[in-house]
Structures are given as structure tokens and as C-alpha cells.
Amino acid sequence: DSGVTQTPKHLITATGQRVTLRCSPRSGDLSVYWYQQSLDQGLQFLIQYYNGEERAKGNILERFSAQQFPDLHSELNLSSLELGDSALYFCASSGRRQSSGNTIYFGEGSWLTVV
């Protein structure tokens, strides 16, 4: 158990809909990362937040957005869903205060199926 919690574990929704994926980082971790893994793609970095602020952006579509709240949990919002958005979405966390060389730990992912 990495200590990173993601909900829901599985989600099936229709094209055009909007969903929200939730992530609780490890206790004390300030950074949250979101990754997407579809069948024909590897793990793609989407976005990183650090202590509530966006820190880095990867291949995140404009239809997707994320935020990190004051309690450090994060949400990934996916809107106007398309069939190609079906994927595993991973959240990861790192970056405890007063620590160096911080390791990133991943949750077990949220399976999104768009039908």
C-alpha cells in the first residue's frame, strides 16, 4: 500500500459526459501528479501540483483540468469525454517538507471507460 488513495476505482460513463477523479496523497506529501495510461500508450504525465499551485504541465488536453485543495487532496476533471479518453488514470504524490530526494509514490489508479 503506497498510501496514495484514488477514487473511484472503476467508472463507466457515456461520451460527452464529465467525470471527476479524486486523489488523496500520502500524509504530509505536498506534490500531486496525474498520469494517464491508455492501452496503446505508455504512462503519460498530465500535470503536477505543489502545495495548491500548478507546478508542471504535460500532455493534458484542454478538456481536462485539475486542482489541489488546501487539504492537499486533488481532483482531475475530465469533460466532453470521448471514447479515446478511456484509460487508467494514476495519481502520485511526493515532496514532504524538510526532506530531500523525494520519491514519488503511485496510487492504484482509476479505470475510466467511456462508452
Partner 1 sequence: DAKTTQPTSMDCAEGRAANLPCNHSTISGNEYVYWYRQIHSQGPQYIIHGLKNNETNEMASLIITEDRKSSTLILPHATLRDTAVYYCIVRVANYGGSQGNLIFGKGTKLSVKP
Site for partner 1, rule CB under 8 A = 2, 4, 30-31, 33, 35, 37, 42-45, 48, 50-51, 55-56, 58, 88, 90, 92, 94-95, 97-109
What are the DSSP calls for the chain, one per residue? Answer: --S-EEE-SEEEE-TT--EEEEEEPPTTEEEEEEEEE-TTS-EEEEEEEETTEEEEE-S--TTEEEEE-TTS-EEEEE-S--GGG-EEEEEEEEEETT-SSPPPEE---EEEEE-
Shortest Å distance, C-beta 23 to partner 1 = 11
The nearer residue to partner 1, 24 or 109, going by C-beta atoms, is 109
- Name which of 38 and 79 has its Cβ closer to partner 1: 38
